[in-house]
Chains A and B, each alone.
Chain A
């Protein structure tokens, strides 16, 4: 069965420092991987996705993620965190040709302090 794990409930980072939000997945076949961000009482905003090709994908707001097939990971990164990046981040997986039924992780709360 498909699954996504976000091992950290919360990540705390100082503004200006690099940040990493971890995600590992389990899926048979070729995975489609996504990161979404959610601000309080709001819907999910798409950040980036990996479908195929270059393992390093760049997305919105300076975020990027690296697909690592051998480690079945898709960690979200940003070189320099902003206070405004503080939000809830979700990793999600879709199996190829499954019509976009995303399986989400539990979410990671990112807190960036000045």
Chain B
């Protein structure tokens, strides 16, 4: 188990450019989440997937943001026409649906594991 992987770890982009972040969850996890964290704040929920279905999106996720998880494995988060206010760390996380817990190590359901994050700086 290599944990949740995110790429790239750091991205500096000019305002107006598009950026894409990739997340590879823990292999047996069917839920995948995106959060955003700005300096001095706790992470804020953006969106989550169960398998390939995007089940919820926060109001924080403007039309310039789109997330996909086409085969229920890795996910991408794209930000179009970046703005300086998009500068933040984008965190990906994954978990196992608690209803599937019997097939996993005890008490592992409901625990959400985070990746190292992708820092975005818009200049």
Contacts and interface: CB of A to CB of B under 8 A. Distances in A.
Contacts of A94: 110
A27 interface: no
B62 interface: no
Q: Is the interface of B mostly helix, strand, loop or mixed?
A: strand
Interface of A: 4, 32, 34, 36, 41-46, 49, 51, 90, 92, 94, 99-107
Contact of B111 (A41, A43, A49, A99): A49
B12 interface: no
B50 interface: yes
Interface residues of B, number: 28
A46 B42 contact: no
B43 A101 contact: no
Contacts of A51: 107, 110
B48 A100 contact: yes
